[in-house]
Structure 1
Amino acid sequence: MGLFTRKKKDNAPENRPVPRHIAVIMDGNGRWAKKRGLPRKAGHKVGAETFRTIATYCKDIGVQYFTVYAFSTENWKRPQDEVDALMNLFRSYLKEAAETMFERGVAVRVLGDLTVLPEDIRAQIAEVDEIADRLGPDAATASLCINYGGRDEIKNAVRAIAQQVKAGELAPEDITEDTITANLYTAHMPDPDLIIRPSGEIRTSNFLLWQSAYSEYYFTDVLWPDFKTTDLDAAIDNFNNRNRRFGGV
């Protein structure tokens, strides 16, 4: 864990531990827009700005990995204009990331089944991947899960392992939990310590199913576009008051 540095009212610094890996289910964009009489895509735009703010804040306070659920395998069922708006937001963010992330020292990764994404977005992802590789494994990492589903991820990992067995590279009895972990999209990062779900919903929604076995969950009624750094502070404080036993006493 890193150190969470915050200012007291008297401006004296106060150090608090922070989770190494925080993940967020970015929920409530559509409801935020509806409450204001705006189209759903307006909520997604503000939600993207919130992501930038919170991702930067996470780096500043020492969180090494920040992962968000941006677009699920089920989200293709949404109205086409909303899907198109989300794809354009991804284009805009990936362009910005390619231009600025190296200077900021933040490695941007995109996780999920990327094969069905538009070709130009896949090209942008390849570009930010190359820049992230140059930053090295110790860089702060912001990951967007796009066309992601926890069950789909596990299915794809099982298929990859089955191919290794078929090729004679792996014996079935040698398959361990580490084997499965190594074939997930998140193989390059530790499991999330804390998963935050805004918007008042209390479910995991097929997010990081394997990786969240011992994650702490924090639920809040705040809609994602309204989520502030103070809300993240509250989640971290709540996390720090929990006793994580990992199945022990």
Structure 2
Amino acid sequence: MRSWLRRRINWGYERLLSSEVSGAPTHVAVIQDGNRRYARQHGDDAPDGHRAGADTTERVLEWCQEIGVEELTLYAFSTENFSRPEHEREALFDLLCEKLREFADADRVHDNGVCIRAIGDIERLPPRVRETIDYAESQTADYDRFVLNVALAYGGRTHLLEAARSVARDVEAGSLSPADIDVETIDERLYGQSVRDVDLIIRTGGDERTSNFLPWHANGNEAAVYFCAPYWPEFSKADFLRGIRTYEHREASWRRTRARRALALLGAVSEPELADARAILSRFRDSLPTAEQSAVDELENLSTDADGRVETVDSNGRVAD
């Protein structure tokens, strides 16, 4: 009776959270922490925890597609994981091969147009894992409705360092001008393929750190971060929806901040900057509280003098003192 009641309560809570979600992040990145601690808690070995976590991964993929997420990146194996005991590494590699092939052949993956990609130092992985990655990528290469990135042999700072070295080599060789180096230059050299900016990082297992995960795409985009206590195998749809709600609150706060900055700069801008401020406020006006929105109307009565300084024009077209 109690288990039935608990399920009903959880179902009702999930429905409530779902009703509160009004917009999905484009790219969610997940640090799947706690598999080994979950296994120990249940008297099992580490591979049993990883296998239980793989079931959660499948559910999260479904939840992302339900609410409209377009890209999901899973931190499956970091460069630090190579230091784990050999039997544990080999069991994890076997599980990765099994699940990647299963995903690549699954009807739901093909029906939903899921493109599977691996990012990381793939050459460090065993041959059987590299072969399975090639298979999964080739089976889903033509899809673009949803992207599933699996981070393997991954280390964020290492990839940034390699990208910087690649740029430096091209500059030294004369094939790239320093003036031409921009965000796209780094993007192209990180993973050899396009990865969207990260909107939300979710980490399970209780630790509150992002562990060198996608620093270029997450920190540069000021991604929202949601830390939660459940181990990865215990991660529920309610936990997932709480993470989405965290992203929505962060997005709303960001929009308000942009609008307020534009308002604060009005008294010290020139004509080009005034146009930028107008554009920003036009996009984010609705994010401001009603009491602050009246200040936006002042933009319509602003112009610049001969020296490019902003002056206020009253309703009769006279320059105000």
* Structure 1 and Structure 2 fold alike (TM over 0.5): yes
Which letter maps to 1:32?
Y
- Give how far 1:13 is off: 7.0
Kindly tell me: are residues 168 and 102 of structure 1, through their superposed partners in 2, closer, same or farther at Cα, counting changes over 3 Å? farther
1:234 aligns with 2:245: no
- Give how far 1:119 is off: 1.4
Q: Given the two structures, how large is their TM-score scaled by the length of structure 2?
A: 0.70
Report the counterpart of residue 191 of structure 2 in structure 1: 185
- Give how far 1:176 is off: 2.0
Equivalence map 1:86-235=2 (5 Å): 86-100=92-106, 101-135=109-143, 138-185=144-191, 187-213=193-219, 214-235=222-243
The answer as to whether partners of 1:23 and 1:196 remain within 8 angstroms in 2 is yes
Gaps of 5+ in 1: 1-5
Q: Given the two structures, how large is their TM-score scaled by the length of structure 1?
A: 0.89
Identity %: 37
Kindly tell me: are residues 14 and 155 of structure 1, through their superposed partners in 2, closer, same or farther at Cα, counting changes over 3 Å? closer
Equivalent residue in structure 2 for 1:71, among 58, 66, 77? 77
Please tell me the root mean square deviation across aligned C-alpha atoms, in Å. Answer: 2.2
Instruction: Describe the SS at the equivalent of 2:190.
Output: coil
Kindly tell me: are residues 8 and 229 of structure 1, through their superposed partners in 2, closer, same or farther at Cα, counting changes over 3 Å? closer
Larger Rg: 2
1:25 aligns with 2:31: yes
- Give how far 1:165 is off: 2.6
In structure 2, distance between residues paired with 1:232 and 1:189: 22
Which letter maps to 1:211?
H
Report the counterpart of residue 49 of structure 1 in structure 2: 55
- Give how far 1:168 is off: 2.9
Higher strand share: 1
Instruction: Describe the SS at the equivalent of 1:68.
Output: strand
Kindly tell me: are residues 8 and 50 of structure 1, through their superposed partners in 2, closer, same or farther at Cα, counting changes over 3 Å? closer
In structure 2, distance between residues paired with 1:29 and 1:55: 18
Report the counterpart of residue 3 of structure 1 in structure 2: none
In structure 2, distance between residues paired with 1:65 and 1:125: 18
Report the counterpart of residue 254 of structure 2 in structure 1: 244
In structure 1, distance between residues paired with 2:15 and 2:122: 44
Residues 129-157 of structure 1 deviation map (CA, whole Å, 9 limit, x = unaligned): 2233211xx32111110000001111221
The answer as to whether partners of 1:67 and 1:144 remain within 8 angstroms in 2 is yes
- Give how far 1:8 is off: 4.6
Number of aligned pairs? 240
- Give how far 1:37 is off: 1.0
Q: Return structure 1 stretches of 4+ with deviation > 6 angstroms.
A: 12-15
- Give how far 1:183 is off: 1.3
Residues 184-238 of structure 1 deviation map (CA, whole Å, 9 limit, x = unaligned): 1274121110001111101111111111111111111111110011210111112
Kindly tell me: are residues 186 and 67 of structure 1, through their superposed partners in 2, closer, same or farther at Cα, counting changes over 3 Å? farther
The answer as to whether partners of 1:107 and 1:142 remain within 8 angstroms in 2 is yes
Q: Which has the higher contact order (CA 8 A, sep 6+)?
A: 1
